Structure 1
Amino acid sequence: MIEKKQAVFLDRDGVINEVLTKKVKFVNKPSDLYLLDGVAESIKMLNESGFLVFVVTNQGGIGLGYMTEEMLKTIHTDLKNKLAKQGAKIDDISYCSHKPNSDCPCRKPKAYMLQKLAATHNVDLSRSIMVGDREPDILAGKEAGCQTVLVHSRSTYSYGADVVFQDLKNALPWILEHKNH
């Protein structure tokens, strides 16, 4: 029997890259993509520890007409290239392109994107971790059966996350403690 793998699921905006900052409001083209401090190094350490690393992101800007699906794919290619230049790798990306409040089956807080990636990549969700900066991320992780980490929150609420850290870099030691070799 093939042993199931562990994964870290990362929300994109606010966990990997800047959003709602002085530099950028939303990421609708590659030039809007600014990695947060320590993200590439953190993802590289997750890679080296044996975690699969996935991005699960709601991208309602497509459904709302702010960008095309092709532009999103270009943004994600740029993201992977920026990370690769620093030795970090994203194993796969899943996104929901539907409008907010459209009640589609894939949009977080539903767990579909995590479940689909887990099935595709032979991942044990109960041994995996969802990292996000908003309530829908934490709820999706909980629904999927993952442990959850809230980072970079503009809120005083934890949304039921297992732990709260300032950013991915500060969450890294806790995440690495949960790696089962």
Structure 2
Amino acid sequence: MKLVILDRDGVINYDSDAFIRSVDEWRPIEGSIDAIARLAQAGYTIAVATNQSGIARGYLSLETLQAIHRRMEEAVTEAGGAIAHIAFCPHGPGDGCACRKPLPGMIDEILDRLGAQHIEERWLVGDSLRDLQAGVSRGFRPVLVRTGKGVKTEMDRSSLPENTLIFDDLARFAEHIIAEGGA
């Protein structure tokens, strides 16, 4: 199995400091849906790991989050791809859970759900340091995209995990690993 775990806000869709609170506010970043479809068509299993503290803060309900995720999955399916699993953390920063990135709880959930004991390649694509830290803790190759908070994250290159690859967006990352065969 070749596995790519994606952060959601800032990687797949535009992020908002005021949180994505409705299906109407969820807007994919140009090229991101097609990038997911191309990765899936090239044999990569795609999963999403996303902190969603807006639930704990009362900004959106679990039902709204599920509707947003259905819209995202439908867009990917229409483009010819698939998302194998979406893991989310509904907790706030101070709730003391084990799933909120940078902790690896969602990564573990994805690995368990997919039965991914034998992974040939493992990538984690995010726009923040905490995304990358969660992936690295479970042996994923870190990829920073400059969309979302990525440009700000890149400013402190010394804090990035060793061997972090940096791309302008998810589409450029997909082009790279498909062309390079995962290298």
Taking structure 2 as the reference length, what is the TM-score of the superposition? 0.87
Normalised by the length of structure 1, the TM-score is 0.88
**Structure 2 residue 14 is the aligned partner of structure 1 residue 18:** yes
Q: Summarize the Cα distance change of 1:70–1:171 in structure 2 as closer, same or farther, 3 Å threshold.
A: same
Aligned to 2:151, the other structure's residue is in SS state coil
The residue type paired with residue 126 of structure 2 is: G
Question: In structure 2, what is the Cα distance between the partners aligned to 1:142 and 1:105?
Answer: 16
1:35 aligns with 2:28: yes
Structure 1 stretches of 4+ with a deviation exceeding 4 A read: none
Q: Is 1:74 matched with 2:67?
A: yes
Paired with 1:6 and 1:103, the residues of 2 have a C-alpha distance of 31
Q: Who is 1:174 aligned against?
A: 176
Does structure 1 residue 157 correspond to structure 2 residue 156?
yes
* 1:147-175 Cα shifts (integer Å, max 9, x gaps): 01000213112422621111111112333
How many residues are treated as equivalent by the alignment?
173
Q: Which amino acid aligns with 1:9?
A: I
SS at match of 1:67: coil
Q: 1:157 to 1:174 in 2, by over 3 A?
A: farther
Task: Provide structure 2 residue ranges, at least 5 long, that are not aligned to the other structure.
Answer: none
C-alpha distance in 2 between matches for 1:101 and 1:167: 30
Contact 1:51-1:179 at 8 Å conserved across structures? no
The Cα shift of 1:88 comes to: 2.4
Name the Cα RMSD after superposition: 1.8
Whole-Å separation in 1 of the counterparts to 2:119 and 2:139: 6
Structure 1 unaligned residues grouped into runs of 5+: none
In the aligned structure 2, how far is the partner of 1:15 from the partner of 1:172? Answer: 12
CA positional deviation for 1:144: 1.2
Distance 1:59 1:69 in 2: 10
Q: Who is 1:6 aligned against?
A: 2
